């Protein structure tokens, strides 16, 4: 019997995925367990394997945005028919991505010429049609106006991220509190430890490692900041799975997670950070690497930004924004001096976290970062 291959659910909140590419062509034979396609969800890109041996019949071409559970291909044995398989096709043969894009732009698919297998209209065909329409409109504009416009469809991971951020801002009572940290001791300690970590352990020591350690300690003291709101219940986590927002080369952010950071020493945190960032750079993060965060840190300081007001990730109640360390004139012991200053911003869900515990959490975090020797528990 034909074996259906469906769009898998790669994480609990996934509703759709993109077929990045097929490793076999339509009509080719494939063996059970062989990589069959590359799928992109919001968090990761992963390969799926053939659930059985057979001849591949592709239903959803590469580039299609497909709902979880929808059939993307069928494996049949020689001589078998593909009868009874639900391809999702209607009167017009078009991929889900093409239909969605046409709906967003009000395009009549009868006017679009399909270039896919058997004349299937692909997302690229709709885009090409849109470009032709825009070019026609632009011809009536001054040349400089036409050249200054570009259409960037809101599809794939960008659309998913937009939906999640909108959901967070619409369903969460965001409030942001700021504090500044005198990073004099932190900068000096890191400079002293950097060569030791690199030469003895082969590990690059970043400020983020110190911040993760300090955050985990502060969360244990103020666990309400490390909680989530589920239905009518506040779930307070006694473990600290710290997500670190990392910019991807192809755009957007991905958030690998350091699990049980409260039980890790600075060396272990620095080492795992190195490994996760490298995997993110190579686009090799697994679902386990990016799932289960209870609190998130976004370090905009590495781009020279002083401060920001980050949006809470759905399923969490707070996120920490970390600004750049900038030398500024400050008053120390009634004397004006130059010190490295870092701003922290805590955005939290006011439905769950009251102002006082949020402020006390930030104060405790500030204390740890201004006295970083406390974080050197290598036991």
Is 308 one of the annotated active-site residues of the chain? no
Cβ neighbours for 95, distance < 8 A, ≥ 6 positions apart: 60, 61, 63, 64, 65, 116, 120, 121, 122, 123
Q: Are 207 and 68 in a shared domain?
A: no
Is 350 one of the annotated active-site residues of the chain? yes
- The residue ranges of the chain whose pLDDT is under 50 are 83-84, 86-91, 379
Count Cβ atoms within 10 A of the Cβ of residue 307 and give its class: 0-12 exposed, 13-18 middle, 19 or more buried.
middle
Count Cβ atoms within 10 A of the Cβ of residue 292 and give its class: 0-12 exposed, 13-18 middle, 19 or more buried.
middle
pLDDT tens digit sequence for 322-379: 999 999 999 999 999 999 999 999 999 999 999 999 999 999 999 999 999 999 975 3
Q: Are 292 and 198 in a shared domain?
A: yes
pLDDT at res. 96: 79
Question: Can you give the CATH number for the domain in which 50 is found?
Answer: 2.40.50.100
- Output the pTM of the full model: 0.68
Residue 190 domain-assigned (yes or no) = yes
Q: Are 87 and 183 in a shared domain?
A: no
Question: Can you give the CATH number for the domain in which 342 is found?
Answer: 3.30.559.10
Q: Are 370 and 240 in a shared domain?
A: yes
CB 3 within 8 A of CB 52: yes
Residue 149 domain-assigned (yes or no) = no
Rounding to the nearest 10 degrees, give the CA dihedral for residues 50, 53, 58, 63: 20
pLDDT at res. 89: 39
Q: Which domain holds residue 100?
A: 3-129
pLDDT tens digit sequence for 105-147: 877 776 777 788 777 888 888 888 887 777 666 555 555 555 6
pLDDT at res. 64: 82
pLDDT at res. 84: 44
Domain boundary among 104, 129, 154: 129
Q: Are 119 and 189 in a shared domain?
A: no
Domain count, the chain: 2
Residue 143 domain-assigned (yes or no) = no
Name the pairing type of β-strands 295-299 and 318-332: parallel
Residue 106 domain-assigned (yes or no) = yes
Residue 20 domain-assigned (yes or no) = yes
Residue 135 domain-assigned (yes or no) = no
Residue 159 domain-assigned (yes or no) = no
Sign, Cα dihedral of 331, 334, 336, 338: negative
Domain boundary among 112, 129, 146: 129
Residue 164 domain-assigned (yes or no) = no
Q: Are 195 and 317 in a shared domain?
A: yes
Q: Are 225 and 365 in a shared domain?
A: yes
* Of 360, 369, 366, 349, the residue nearest 295 (C-alpha): 349
- Of 174, 354, 367, 377, which is the active-site residue? 354
- Of 11, 283, 350, 377, which is the active-site residue? 350
């Amino acid at each position: 019997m034909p074996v259906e291959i469906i769009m898998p659910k790669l994480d609990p909140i996934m509703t759709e995925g993109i077929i990045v590419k097929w490793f076999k062509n339509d009509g080719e034979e494939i063996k059970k367990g062989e990589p069959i396609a590359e799928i992109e969800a919001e968090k990761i890109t992963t390969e799926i394997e053939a659930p059985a041996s057979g001849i591949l019949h592709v239903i959803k071409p590469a580039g299609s945005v497909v709902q979880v559970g929808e059939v993307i291909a069928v494996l049949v044995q020689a001589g078998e028919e593909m009868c009874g398989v639900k391809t999702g096709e209607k009167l017009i043969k078009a991929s889900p991505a093409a239909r969605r894009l046409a709906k967003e732009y009000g395009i009549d698919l009868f006017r679009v010429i399909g270039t896919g297998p058997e004349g299937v209209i692909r997302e690229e065909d709709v885009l090409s049609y849109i470009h032709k329409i825009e070019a026609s409109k632009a011809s009536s504009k001054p040349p400089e106006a036409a050249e200054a416009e570009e259409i960037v469809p809101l599809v794939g991971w960008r659309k998913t991220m937009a939906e999640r951020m909108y959901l967070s801002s619409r369903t969460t009572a965001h409030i942001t509190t700021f504090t500044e940290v005198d990073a004099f001791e932190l900068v000096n300690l890191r400079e002293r430890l950097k060569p030791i970590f690199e030469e003895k352990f082969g590990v690059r020591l970043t400020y983020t490692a110190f911040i993760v350690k300090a955050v985990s300690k502060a969360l244990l003291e103020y666990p309400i900041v490390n909680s989530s709101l589920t239905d009518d219940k506040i779930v307070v986590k006694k473990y600290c799975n710290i997500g670190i927002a990392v910019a991807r080369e192809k755009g957007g952010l991905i958030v690998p997670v350091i699990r049980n950071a409260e039980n890790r020493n600075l060396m272990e945190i620095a080492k795992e950070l190195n490994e996760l960032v490298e995997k993110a750079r190579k686009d090799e993060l697994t679902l386990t690497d990016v799932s289960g965060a209870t609190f998130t840190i976004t370090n905009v300081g590495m781009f020279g930004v002083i401060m920001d007001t980050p949006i809470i990730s759905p399923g969490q109640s707070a996120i920490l924004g970390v600004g750049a360390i900038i030398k500024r004139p400050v008053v120390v012991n009634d004397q004006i001096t130059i010190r490295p200053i870092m701003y922290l911003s805590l955005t939290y869900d006011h439905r769950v976290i009251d102002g006082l515990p949020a402020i006390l959490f930030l104060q405790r975090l500030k204390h740890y970062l201004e006295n970083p020797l406390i974080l050197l528990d290598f036991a």
